[in-house]
Amino acid sequence: MSVGIVSYGAYIPRYRIKIDDIARVWGDDAEILKAGLMVFEKSFPDVDEDTATMAVEAARSAVNRACLDAQRIGAVYTGSESHPYAVKPTSTIVAEAVGATPVLTAADFEFACKAGTAAIQACMGLVSSGMIDLGLAIGADVAQGAPGDALEYTAAAGGVAYVIGNKESELAAIIEDTYSFTTDTPDFWRREGMPYPEHGGRFTGEPGYFKHVTNAAKGLMEKIGTKPDDYDFAVFHQPNGKFPSRAASMLGFSKEQIKPGLVVPRLGNTYSGSCMMGIAATLDQAKPGDRIFATAFGSGAGGDAFSITVTDRIEEIRNNAPKVEELLANPIYADYAKYARHKGKIKLA
């Protein structure tokens, strides 16, 4: 029995700040940063947007794209590390706002940048076992980076939602298999009550990102007997442009394979939305029969790999909701002062 993506939806706020504007405030060299990070600008939210509002917009887009009856949704899981409440689920807000309540299970997920893909895996299990008809898995974040910290150059805002199901005729993409690689690696964390996360600097690279991404990816390909050449596209968690490019080359994927999903240079790192946004951007242009390999990474740390095959159904639903490229178009550029105001970095008396 197949399981896969029935629909998907993305949301990106319209505001952008250029790396040059952030570097100017902190006296950093923008050219070195842009070359090193392969990120040129990042999204940030409007004054009245947060993880819940972006999760709702993405979820509504997913429901509308395939004209789904939201009452069929039996589970809503929202992955984020910036849930608006410490205690009170974001997922109940989403469930109510898409019209899926009251007969469903809901919970919020947290696993740094891969909470959204963990939600996809949970939904895959629930639909495969027959416990639910459709599952809604979301990754959304208003990513936090302390003023002046390296993270501030990339921490962005966005949300992506996937409706997971198992009725063959409804699947726009079949998820052939998934494989996770998880260890206790403290490369990035945020303590209770703290406004910004801490990270291990370079420690987030080799023992964090690369170890978990490559092991999850290799593990999945070994498990199902595929190799990089079997795939038309590949997506890797994109905290910056450099990491996914290097992971792709370490694993044997080409620059062409990762190109459609590599949205980070114009978007920044949407944390829980990062890899899922790359998959959405790839689905926006994939043809029926195309195969997509995706690996998400979450600090703490773990990697979730997915092998996906696009079906004919993609052509029927694709144009019913905004594509990632359309959401990236027509941005409103703002300076650091406006960015600081929107992000609540300026305290009012």
Partner 1 sequence: MITMSVPRFWRKQIARYNLVGTYCKTCEEYFYPPRNVCPSCRREGEIGEFKFNGNGELVTYTVIHAAAEGFEGQTPYVLGIVQLEEGPRLTSQIVGDPKEMHIGLKVRPVFRRLGQSGERGMIYYGTKFVPA
Under the criterion CB under 8 A, does residue 227 sit at the interface with partner 1? no
- C-alpha to C-alpha distance for 80 and 113, rounded to whole angstroms: 7
C-alpha gyration radius of the chain: 19
Residue nearer to partner 1 on the CB measure, 60 or 237? 60
Under the criterion CB under 8 A, does residue 329 sit at the interface with partner 1? no
Query: CB of 257: closest distance to partner 1 in angstroms?
Result: 35
Question: For this structure, is 113 an active site residue?
Answer: yes
Secondary structure (3-state) at 3: coil
Residue nearer to partner 1 on the CB measure, 103 or 348? 348
Residue with tokens 């963990």: 118
The partner residues of 41 in beta bridges, in order of sequence, read 18
What is the torsion angle, in degrees rounded to the nearest 10, for the CA atoms of residue 117, residue 119, residue 121 and residue 127? Answer: -140
Token digits of residue 305: 């790999």
Question: For this structure, is 67 an active site residue?
Answer: no
Under the criterion CB under 8 A, does residue 325 sit at the interface with partner 1? no
Under the criterion CB under 8 A, does residue 108 sit at the interface with partner 1? no
**Among residues 47, 131, 194, 329, the one that binds partner 1 under rule CB under 8 A:** 47
**Among residues 22, 39, 52, 137, the one that binds partner 1 under rule CB under 8 A:** 52
Under the criterion CB under 8 A, does residue 287 sit at the interface with partner 1? no
Residue nearer to partner 1 on the CB measure, 52 or 113? 52
Query: In sequence order, which ranges of 252-308 are alpha helices (DSSP H)?
Result: 255-258, 264-267, 274-283
Question: For this structure, is 237 an active site residue?
Answer: yes
Under the criterion CB under 8 A, does residue 56 sit at the interface with partner 1? yes
- C-alpha to C-alpha distance for 311 and 87, rounded to whole angstroms: 39
The residue annotated as part of the active site, out of 113, 199, 212, 342, is 113
The residue annotated as part of the active site, out of 49, 81, 152, 170, is 81
Q: Who contacts 4 (Cβ-Cβ below 8 Å, separation ≥6)? A: 164, 165, 166, 171, 172, 173, 174, 175, 308, 311
Under the criterion CB under 8 A, does residue 160 sit at the interface with partner 1? no
Contact at 8 Å (CB) between 43 and 142? no
Contacting partner 1 within 65-104 (CB under 8 A): 84-85, 93, 96-97, 99
Look up residue 273 and give its DSSP letter. Answer: G
Contact at 8 Å (CB) between 4 and 174? yes
Contact at 8 Å (CB) between 284 and 327? no
**Among residues 50, 108, 152, 290, the one that binds partner 1 under rule CB under 8 A:** 50
Query: CB of 48: closest distance to partner 1 in angstroms?
Result: 4
Under the criterion CB under 8 A, does residue 317 sit at the interface with partner 1? no
Contact at 8 Å (CB) between 128 and 135? no
Interface residues with partner 1 (CB under 8 A) are 46-50, 52-53, 56-57, 60, 84-85, 93, 96-97, 99, 341, 344, 348
Give me the active site residues, please.
Answer: 81, 113, 237
